[in-house]
Amino acid sequence: MNLEWVHPTGLWALVLPIVLALLSLRRGKPSSLHLGTVRLWRDLTGESEGARVRRHLPLARVLLIGALVAGGLALGGPRLKTPSIQKTWHVVLDTRPTMFLEHTTEEGVPSGQGTRLAVGLRALEQLLQEQNTRPALRWSRRISGLTRLDRIASERVPAAFLVPGPSGHARSSWLALDEPHTLWVSDSMPPGSLPEHAGVVLSGGGPVPGPVASVGDRLLSMRAGEWVEEAGMPMRFVFLDEGLPTRLASFAKVWAGERGLEISDSDSGDESLALRLVAARAGSGSLPVEVFGRDGWQASAPLVEVGEESDSAPRPRPWLSAEVAGDVWPLVSWRPGWVRVAFGEPFEDRSGDPGAFAVSWADLLDRALLSAPGVLPQGEREPAGPATTRAPRSRSFNPEAAPGAWPLVRWLSAIAGVLLFASALALKST
C-alpha cells in the first residue's frame, strides 16, 4: 500500500505500545521458580520433563497494545499517496479590465506590485513552487462573463491573455469550472458559493481611483474617495451605415446627440469610434417581409438573411430574431462597439407607440456603446478584498469519501476505540 504520513511526528506515539509490549512480554514470561514439589505438579498436569516454556500475554493487554498501535498510526495521519506523476493544472485567468488596474492598498494607494493581474500571477508562481512536483499548466480565460476554454499548454501566461476584455459585464459564477486540478486566477472570489475542488489565486487589492463614466468631452472620475468632473476628452463618434432603415438611423442620431457623441458616415476603425451601427447587405432576389418586434413595439420590413458568424471576432449576441419558413433569422445582433441590423426599407412601425421603440433601442445602443479609453464602471474599481491562495484538489480526491466518510485515519481511530473497549471488557471479565 502506497502510504504517506501527514503528521509523521505522531508516529512517535508508537513507542508507547512497543514499550508496553516489551514490558508485558517480560512480565508475561513465566516466572521460573524452583520448587521441591514439582513431582506433585507433574502428577497433576501429566506433562513430561522438558515441558515447553510458553509466554502468555493477557488478552486485555494484547487488545490494549493493539489499540495503542492503531491510535499511534492514526496520529501519524496516514493517507494513500497520490502517484508522483506530474499533474496538470487548468488555470482559468480572469481578463476583466479590473485585472489590469494597478494593485492598491486598502487606502487606494498603489502598492508598487504592478497590476492586480501581475500580483495574481506572482502568487500563482509561488503556489506552483510550493508543490512537490511543479504541475504543468494549461491556460484558459474568462472574457466578458464567458469562459474561453483555450487550454493552451504553457509554463507562463500566454501573451494573448494579457489583453483586457470588454468592461461593463456583470460577474457571474465560476462554479461551472469547479473541478479538480483547476485554478481560478482573479482579483476577488467570483459570485456564488465557494469552489469545492478548484483552487483559487486572488490578487485582492484596494479601491482603484480613475474615470468611471464619460459624457461627450467630460469625464467623471473617482479620486481619493471623491467624485471629480474633468473636461477635455477627445470627441467620439458613432458610425451609421447607409443601409439602415431611415427611422432607425434617425433615432440613432438623436440617441448619439444625447450621449455627447458625433455621427460619422465613415468607419475609421480607430479608438474614437464608440459604436458602429451596420446594415446587413441583401443578396439578389426578393426579400421576405415579416412582422417582428420586442419590448412593446412591432414593425414589418423585408428581412436579410445573414450567414454563419466568423469565429475570429467575438461572437455577436442576438437581440432580435424572427422565424422565417421554420428557420430563425437573426434580425439584430450586437457585441460591444458593434450593432448589425438585418432588415431594410420599407420599415413600418405597427405598434403605434414611438416611446416603446425608443426605449427599447436606446437600451441596446447603450449596452453596445464602448466606454471611453480609461473609463471603467465604478464596480470594477471597487476593492477586491484580501489576497487568497489555495491549491486545487487532486483528481484522486473523492468528495464522497472526504470529510464525512472514512479515510484511513478515521478507520484507525475507530479500530483503536473498539480495541480499547474490548480490552476493558476483557479486563473486567478476568
Partner 1 sequence: MPDHPNSGSQRKGAAARPAGELPCPTVVLGSEYLKRLERLSLRFAAGLERREGAGRAGLLGSGEEFVNSRPYRPGEDLRQLDWDLLARLDRPYIRVSRREAAESWSLWIDTSASMGVGPPGKLQMAAEVAGGIAAAGMQVGARIELVAGTRRFQARKLSDIGQLVEFLQNLCAEGAEGLATAVEESRPPSQVGRLFLIGDLLDLEHKQALRWRRPGRELFWVQILAPLELLPEGGGRSHVEGSTSQVGEWVEWVDPEGGERLSVRLDGSNLAAYESNLERQLEAWQSMAARHGVSHGLFSSDSPFESAVRATLEP
| For partner 1, the closer CB: 18 or 38 | 38
Q: 265 in helix, strand or coil?
A: coil
Among 1, 2, 26, 45, interactor with partner 1 by CB under 8 A: 45
Q: How far apart are CA 186 and CA 203, in angstroms?
A: 6
Q: Which residue has the cell 470627441?
A: 235
- List the interface residues with partner 1, window 56-115 (CB under 8 A): 56, 58
Query: Does residue 232 bind partner 1 (CB under 8 A)?
Result: no
Strand partners of residue 301:
290
Mark 3-32 with x for binding to partner 1 (rule: CB under 8 A) and - for no binding. -------------------------x-xxx
Among 1, 2, 26, 53, interactor with partner 1 by CB under 8 A: 53
Query: Does residue 37 bind partner 1 (CB under 8 A)?
Result: yes
| For partner 1, the closer CB: 47 or 106 | 47
Q: How far apart are CA 248 and CA 263, in angstroms?
A: 14
| For partner 1, the closer CB: 31 or 312 | 31
User: CB under 8 A: which stretch of 41-49, 222-230, 363-371, 395-403 binds partner 1?
Assistant: 41-49
Q: How far apart are CA 178 and CA 147, in angstroms?
A: 13
Query: Does residue 42 bind partner 1 (CB under 8 A)?
Result: yes
User: CB under 8 A: which stretch of 39-47, 62-70, 79-87, 406-414 binds partner 1?
Assistant: 39-47
Shortest approach of partner 1 to residue 398 CB, angstroms? 48
Long-range contacts of 209-212 (CB under 8 A, 24+ apart): 209/108, 209/381, 210/101, 210/374, 210/376, 210/381, 211/372, 211/374, 211/375, 211/376, 212/375, 212/376, 212/377, 212/378, 212/381
Among 1, 2, 26, 33, interactor with partner 1 by CB under 8 A: 33
| For partner 1, the closer CB: 23 or 291 | 23
Q: How far apart are CA 254 and CA 37, in angstroms?
A: 126
Cα-flanking dihedrals φ and ψ of residue 188, to 5°? Answer: -145, 165
Query: Does residue 34 bind partner 1 (CB under 8 A)?
Result: yes
Amino acid, res. 402: A
| For partner 1, the closer CB: 50 or 232 | 50
**Contact (Cβ atoms closer than 8 angstroms) between residue 331 and residue 320:** yes
> Which residues of this protein are in contact with partner 1, per CB under 8 A?
28, 30-45, 47, 49-56, 58, 430
